[in-house]
Structure 1
Amino acid sequence: MGFYVRKTLRSGPFRFTASTSGLGVSAGVPGFRAGTGPRGNYVSVSAGGLNYRTTRAQSRRPTRASPPTRTSSQHDVEMEDVTGATIHELVATGRGDIVEQLNDAAAYRSWTWPIFGVLFLAGLAIASWGWLLSGAALVALVYLVLRDQAKRRVIVFYDVEGADERWFDSLVDSTTVAAASQKVWRIVESGQVVTTRQHKTNAGAGNLVSRVSATVTFDAPRHLATNIAVPTITAGHTSLHFLPDRILVKEGRQYADVAYGDLVSGARSTQFIEALGGLPTDAQQVDRTWQYVNVKGGPDRRYSNNPERAVMLYGQLEMSSPGGLYWKVQTSAVSATNRLHESLRAAPRH
């Protein structure tokens, strides 16, 4: 059980503790009641399936409309967005309502500082007993800050057993290998080279891609407090968080999820043309080329400024779902994506 990192979780003044009898919550600050705190979720994952328990109910949020997709042009090659569906187009799996809770927590708007400012300034404006009002404002500030912390977090305790435990442990190990890769990217656009001119002026490449830097960590999203390590891939304002019962998808301040039963993954090695300098040392250079090539693949002598390029061998992991999830992740270490793919392919299909 190496992926368990804590036995109790805190959210503002509230402390959650999991036991065999369920999920307990207590308030460590006078004036707070357990019923006013954040919702606690207890998820049991075993050969018998998934079981969800919670401490209290919460309202549902309306679904928002999805923004349009986009295309762009790069080096005269038409580039297509390959990031899949937006967060608004992914439909929640319906397993518990953790996604709704996270969206509620992310959308929570605090009035703490405006209220404090009004009370404090009013206290300063009153000559005689204003200090009492200002003091009350400070007490209210502490109360409201703790309340805000509780409202902005969702508590999820996981109890993973048997084969599911061994699988998630292997996923954590695979993520550790991927996190050690010197370079990680997400491919966000791709375009086919179709003309001879495009081929000759783009270092002989058959496809062009646009990438953004990515990171592999064990950081849970800021609105989630949980007792396990959370394998995470982050690229810009989007991230994938691999939980024992689902893949949590975050885009900005919005959440959705994908069931492992709907996930399709694949891994392969791919050649990528890079500029010289700063190349990852854990990747293999398999060939060389030039920015401008002739029909035989050699340097085009008509260009005086024709820098040499390195052809590198990287690992590539593709993840998709029928609901529209689509991620292409590259790692400088080929073994990293292979390990992740093997772990994801072995995910239990509850």
Structure 2
Amino acid sequence: MRWPFRSFFHECPKDADSLRLAAGSVGTFVVLGSGGFEYREKRQDSAADGFIRTASTYELEQRAPEAVVHDIEERLRRPNVFAWYAGGSALLAFWAASLHPVYSILCFVLAAVPARRIYVWNRARRTTFLFYNIEDPGITERLALAAHAGRSLSMATRIWHIYYAVATSDWKRNAGASTLIRRTPTRSVSGSLPQIALNIEPWCVPVGPQRLLFLPDRLFVWDGRKLVGLPYSELAVRAGPTRFIEDSALPRDARQVGTTWRYVNKSGGPDRRYSNNAQLPVMEYGELEISSASGLRVVLQASTVEAAVGTAQAIGGLSRNQASWPAMHTEEPVRRRVTPEPVPAGASPEVVRAHNVAILLRYVSSADRRITPEEIAFARDVFVSLNPSHTADTAEFEMYFRALPGDASSVDAASAFVRSLGAEHSSWVMEKLVQLSWVDGRATPKEAERIAEIGRRIQAPTM
């Protein structure tokens, strides 16, 4: 049995008052309908016959997303009355102690009597309950993506928030760097904001004065006074490798790609005019940038490229899924999503074959964590050769191609399908995979490794 208030009770006393607080407090139920997420408010009932009744989520009062965010923000900003009460009681006790020790003990005893009720009341008025319908497969899928966004960052040994970046022409005295940045360490942790009780376990990333909270329906940004809920479809995400000249302790999971000198000359060697010219390592880190048209811009640096790319892919999946919902209360055109899987029932053999070959092409092209325009163009040519009825333009195919699954089970299934078509077709696919690895000018060792892996799976000789 799932306990619907586990996040809240990790922080609250598990006593009868807390149980009554959770069961009777006003909360918002989040369900996934045909038009996207719907927010339905639970209101307290006062039954005259003494029975405690509730309503199904579809009988609750529907609320606008902005109203939900406003309610959460208003509760987050409410003053902590219990802290005032505890502080005032302590000051009164110290003052009484100056008169007589017995008075101080009496003050503590009298203050402790209502303290528990004040604590429970104060927490109820400052806490917002959000209940996600975790029995809905759509919400479960988005919950997994939101959790993956935070978990990917947490897998990196070190994470930094970059809050300052400026170009410099004085590269000689800055170890050859063209951009100077300032950063501060941060982390990705499991848990909600203190006053938001959930029946799920979200991930939170502090970035300067703000906190990012990855939820299935939107990204919450809280700065201590203002709360904003941004739909993932409004976010732009960029991730990839970056080189950083490290002058502090090296993360154990980072990859060193070179060295430089604190003071360099034109040829890249050490500048002999400086006696304290130390050699510095050049590290490959992952850089993640999350931005929106409304002004959000967060730049994170992770000690591994995989951590940044994994988070970007998860947010991208949330964005594509959200963008496919019909527009609600608006007549603006809806962005169309090209869904890579599953293949529609009754699809022609050409479509099925092209889809499975495309999965293998994407698996190879993403080996070095980036897919170039040349690789996308080549993959589209192969796709059209297998499925001449294909009419999507290049941009639409790129959306489809980048969204193709790259997990082991999907690659296994695609390889088994290609193998079932015979040795001649398997050899043709291997030829196209090798050509794909060279279309951008060079084949990387990782691409060659994946081509050999597919060759073993489809039982075809490696080219």
Contact conserved, 1:237 with 1:252, CA < 8 A, in 2? Answer: yes
For residues 312 and 138 of structure 1, the distance between their equivalents in structure 2, rounded to whole angstroms, comes to 56
Q: Kindly state the Cα deviation for residue 131 of structure 1 after the two structures are TM-superposed.
A: 9.9
Indicate the residue corresponding to 1:333 in structure 2.
304
Would the alpha carbon gap of residues 5 and 180 (structure 1) be closer, same or farther in structure 2, given more than 3 Å must change?
farther
Indicate the residue corresponding to 1:204 in structure 2.
176
Indicate the residue corresponding to 1:303 in structure 2.
274
Indicate the residue corresponding to 1:143 in structure 2.
117
Q: Does 1:159 align with 2:130?
A: no
Q: Does 1:231 align with 2:203?
A: yes
For residues 277 and 4 of structure 2, the distance between their equivalents in structure 1, rounded to whole angstroms, comes to 59
Contact conserved, 2:27 with 2:41, CA < 8 A, in 1? Answer: yes
Would the alpha carbon gap of residues 280 and 48 (structure 1) be closer, same or farther in structure 2, given more than 3 Å must change?
same
Q: Does 1:342 align with 2:317?
A: no
Indicate the residue corresponding to 2:217 in structure 1.
245
Per-residue CA deviations over 1:72-111 (Å, capped at 9, x if unaligned) read xxxxxxxxxxxxxxxxxxxxx9444234323433332414
Aligned amino acid, residue 201 of structure 2: A
* Greater share of strand: 1
Question: 1:115-134 residue pairs with structure 2 within 5 A?
Answer: 116=89
Indicate the residue corresponding to 1:113 in structure 2.
86
Contact conserved, 1:106 with 1:223, CA < 8 A, in 2? Answer: no
Mean Cα displacement is larger for which, 246-255 or 289-298?
246-255
Q: Give 1:183's match in structure 2, choosing from 147, 158, 181.
A: 158
Aligned amino acid, residue 133 of structure 2: D
Q: Kindly state the Cα deviation for residue 180 of structure 1 after the two structures are TM-superposed.
A: 1.6
Indicate the residue corresponding to 1:49 in structure 2.
36
Aligned amino acid, residue 113 of structure 1: A
For residues 92 and 307 of structure 2, the distance between their equivalents in structure 1, rounded to whole angstroms, comes to 55
Contact conserved, 1:123 with 1:134, CA < 8 A, in 2? Answer: no
Per-residue CA deviations over 1:246-288 (Å, capped at 9, x if unaligned) read 111121354222111211111111000012x621121111111
Question: 1:51-66 residue pairs with structure 2 within 5 A?
Answer: 51-56=38-43
Contact conserved, 1:287 with 1:310, CA < 8 A, in 2? Answer: yes
Per-residue CA deviations over 1:101-139 (Å, capped at 9, x if unaligned) read 2343333241423665699799999xxxx9999765432
Indicate the residue corresponding to 2:255 in structure 1.
284
For residues 189 and 12 of structure 2, the distance between their equivalents in structure 1, rounded to whole angstroms, comes to 28
For residues 139 and 22 of structure 2, the distance between their equivalents in structure 1, rounded to whole angstroms, comes to 32
Aligned amino acid, residue 49 of structure 1: G
Per the alignment, in what secondary structure is the counterpart of residue 97 of structure 1?
A: helix
Q: Kindly state the Cα deviation for residue 213 of structure 1 after the two structures are TM-superposed.
A: 0.6
Aligned amino acid, residue 246 of structure 2: E
Aligned amino acid, residue 43 of structure 1: V
Q: Kindly state the Cα deviation for residue 237 of structure 1 after the two structures are TM-superposed.
A: 3.4
Q: Kindly state the Cα deviation for residue 149 of structure 1 after the two structures are TM-superposed.
A: 2.0
Aligned amino acid, residue 262 of structure 1: E
For residues 271 and 299 of structure 1, the distance between their equivalents in structure 2, rounded to whole angstroms, comes to 19
Per-residue CA deviations over 1:146-186 (Å, capped at 9, x if unaligned) read 21222222111111423442233133234323212111011
Q: Kindly state the Cα deviation for residue 326 of structure 1 after the two structures are TM-superposed.
A: 0.4
* TM-score, normalised by the number of residues in structure 1: 0.72
Structure 1 gaps, min length 5? 16-26, 58-92
Would the alpha carbon gap of residues 134 and 303 (structure 1) be closer, same or farther in structure 2, given more than 3 Å must change?
closer
Would the alpha carbon gap of residues 5 and 264 (structure 1) be closer, same or farther in structure 2, given more than 3 Å must change?
farther
For residues 22 and 281 of structure 2, the distance between their equivalents in structure 1, rounded to whole angstroms, comes to 60
Contact conserved, 2:31 with 2:133, CA < 8 A, in 1? Answer: yes
For residues 311 and 123 of structure 1, the distance between their equivalents in structure 2, rounded to whole angstroms, comes to 63
Which structure has the greater CA radius of gyration? 2
Indicate the residue corresponding to 2:406 in structure 1.
none
Mean Cα displacement is larger for which, 237-246 or 322-331?
237-246
* TM-score, normalised by the number of residues in structure 2: 0.56
Q: Give 1:313's match in structure 2, choosing from 250, 263, 284.
A: 284
Contact conserved, 1:6 with 1:228, CA < 8 A, in 2? Answer: no
Q: How many residues align?
A: 293
Q: What value does the CA root-mean-square deviation take over the aligned residues? A: 3.5
The structure showing larger relative contact order (alpha-carbon pairs under 8 Å, at least 6 residues apart) is 1
Indicate the residue corresponding to 2:186 in structure 1.
214
Would the alpha carbon gap of residues 29 and 170 (structure 1) be closer, same or farther in structure 2, given more than 3 Å must change?
closer
Q: Give 2:235's match in structure 1, choosing from 250, 255, 263.
A: 263
For residues 12 and 43 of structure 2, the distance between their equivalents in structure 1, rounded to whole angstroms, comes to 17
Structure 2 gaps, min length 5? 45-63, 326-463
